[in-house]
Structure 1
Amino acid sequence: MTQLTVPASGRRILATRCRAVCEAPVFGFAVLLVILANAVLLGVDTYSGVAAEYHEVLKRSEDLCVTAFTVEMALRLGAHADRPKAFFRDPWNVFDLVVVSSAFVPFLRENTTLLRLLRLARVLRTARFMPQLRILLVAVGRSLPGTVSFLFVGALILYVYAMVGWICFAARDPEHYGSLGRAGLTLFLLMMMDGLGDAVHAGLAISPLSILFYASFVLLASFVLVNVLIGVVLNALEEARELERTEAREAQAGPPPPVDADQGLRRRIVAMREALDELEARLDHEGAGARPPLTGARG
């Protein structure tokens, strides 16, 4: 049984035509309009009266959106027919493929909650057509490791100060420092500068030295840590911008020209023949130089 394969030239033609459609500004604008229409339909479904009255219209509109997304994804897959691995190297392509294909999974279509969440995920696809939003989302993702470190250090500082607050103020202010949980909640709100004045006045009524406790905590938690977090996010944002510029340059350069295997083989054969001819000519020249000169007739 023979296996049918698409010739390389056919894949290149398909990819070229689909890429021309996908890169057209009208195509991107049309897809963006469909995404926004899907968001409007999702919002209309939250009104039970309108959803019940126009159920059939909303259902057909949803089917049209799914059809449009399916056609869009087919064109994007076709644009990578000559290099399919490049499609899956782009996280946005993988995200779009998962979101669109989920509409055809029977289990997900029967689960109303999951289906609504997946329909909501389609709204996030607007990031593909908004470069600044895409850069911001990439920056948030790249800042996660630094953010985890920030949260660990912040939790450690909060725990230490909560224990100190419980030791120093639990007897006089049990409402705010009666336990580790109460003290942690109080300091967490103070980290947001919520009720700092009242807390300082209550602490001064207990001991004048409480000002050192609150001042050091606010300095560490609200200024140092917040500035560190801002620095992590800004660094990730700059990395995301550089990554976006690199991808834009690669997209403008286009895919590498296809290599014809037969042509490359012919070039190697010609090069080998030229090398053999040169070697043969060199050997003939050296052999002629090594022969003894011919002498005249003997007398």
Structure 2
Amino acid sequence: MPRPRALRHALAQRARALTEARWFALSVFALIIANAVLLGAETYSGLAREWHHWLHLAEHLCIAAFTVEIAVRVCAHADRPRDFFRDPWNLFDMAVVACAFLPLVRENTTVLRLLRLARVLRTARFLPQLRIVIVAVARSLPGTVSFLLVGALLLYLYAMVGWVFFSEANPGQYGSLGRAVLTLFLLMTLDGLGDAVHAGLEISRWSIVYYASYVLIASFVLVNVLIGVVISSLEEARELEREQSPTPDAPSAPASVPPSIPAPAPIPAPAPVPDPDVDLRTRIAIARKALDDLEAVLPPFLAAHPPGPAAAPVPARDTARS
């Protein structure tokens, strides 16, 4: 009998092949868009009353389809279930689908519609650029919180200064701390700045310094800092998406030769055995050529270097005496 581990591995492979198919992603994306269209159709009272039964049936079909999708994604991680819960998008999808089965949520129409609206955010799973933007917004939250704290301190400081100088002459905008904060918050968008400057000049010429410094710090410096934080988070999100994107597998080694064992060197072919008759004729030809060269060089050499007188032969008797 096959082992349970082998069964889980086979199930995970089949489910993974299904979830990685292009038609599966397109089907889920189309289902999410259809669910968003149904949610928008329910906002028309006449259409909702006339097609109430069909809209209710379509909602149940969407829930069933989303449940099957989540089940297939869970099966795709049957051999390594921890990896499923490490992906935040998987947790988000499971939470949105699971909440539709809770009794308290099903009884509360407002909460149920909000959860159905959250399904539209699942389109980010199938759109890489939208997913990068959402991740960038989430990563920029710490910097945005710091920006909000600095902006709140700036608003409080200028609101107190504006209340001190303009509360009596302009109580409608600076009569209290709350009114002053609201006025300066609107001025941060440069809306009504001209009217505020003209009204301030009627009170004091120094009001131009107040408004100019506030607009320079709030509308230019702080807003550019916020844009810088968002752009930096967007680059980080792109780098993170690039790291998590699957890379093409390297070409594998041939099945006959393991990667760790080098391939054997080719065996050289044996040298041909020379023919004895051919080898003898070659040697004779070489010897003849050497003799011809010697005969051509020897006469000039003897003419340039004549041999000396030959030594006299020794008498035989002297040789015998000695």
* TM-score of Structure 1 vs Structure 2, range by shorter chain: 0.7 to 0.9
Q: Among residues 193, 202, 205, which one is paired with 1:205 in the alignment?
A: 202
Q: Among residues 20, 29, 32, which one is paired with 1:32 in the alignment?
A: 29
Partner of 1:78: 75
Show CA shifts across 1:51-109 (max 9, x none).
11111111111111111111111110011111110011110000000111112222211
- Counterpart Cα distance in 2 of 1:236 and 1:116: 31
Partner of 1:87: 84
Of the structure 1 ranges 60-69 and 192-201, higher mean CA displacement relative to structure 2 is found in 60-69
What is the TM-score when the length of structure 2 is the normalising length?
Answer: 0.75
- Counterpart Cα distance in 2 of 1:253 and 1:174: 71
| Paired residue type of 1:240 | A
The question of 1:161 aligning with 2:145 is answered: no
What percentage of residue pairs aligned between the two structures are identical?
Answer: 66
- Counterpart Cα distance in 2 of 1:34 and 1:68: 8
Partner of 2:184: 187
Q: Among residues 87, 103, 111, which one is paired with 2:108 in the alignment?
A: 111
Partner of 1:142: 139
Partner of 2:130: 133
- Counterpart Cα distance in 2 of 1:208 and 1:37: 61
| Paired residue type of 2:218 | A
Higher helix fraction (1 or 2): 1
| Paired residue type of 1:84 | P
Q: Among residues 18, 22, 32, which one is paired with 2:19 in the alignment?
A: 22
- Counterpart Cα distance in 2 of 1:204 and 1:190: 16
Structure 1 residues 151 and 6: alpha-carbon distance in aligned structure 2, compared to 1, 3 A threshold: farther
Residue 6 of structure 1, CA deviation:
6.9
Partner of 1:99: 96
| Paired residue type of 2:117 | L
Which residues in structure 2 correspond to 1:211-290 (within 5 Å)?
Answer: 211-249=208-246
Residue 249 of structure 1, CA deviation:
3.4
Residue 239 of structure 1, CA deviation:
0.7
| Paired residue type of 2:204 | S
Aligned positions, number: 249
- Counterpart Cα distance in 2 of 1:13 and 1:214: 70
Show CA shifts across 1:100-136 (max 9, x none).
1112222211111111111111111111011111111
Structure 1 or 2, whichever has the larger Rg, is 2
Partner of 1:272: none
What is the TM-score when the length of structure 1 is the normalising length?
Answer: 0.81
Show CA shifts across 1:254-281 (max 9, x none).
9xxxxxxxxxxxxxxxxxxxxxxxxxxx
Structure 1 residues 6 and 111: alpha-carbon distance in aligned structure 2, compared to 1, 3 A threshold: farther
Unaligned 5+ runs, structure 1: 255-299
Structure 1 residues 74 and 195: alpha-carbon distance in aligned structure 2, compared to 1, 3 A threshold: same
Show CA shifts across 1:223-278 (max 9, x none).
0000000011011111111111111036x569xxxxxxxxxxxxxxxxxxxxxxxx
Partner of 2:308: none
Partner of 2:149: 152
Unaligned 5+ runs, structure 2: 251-322
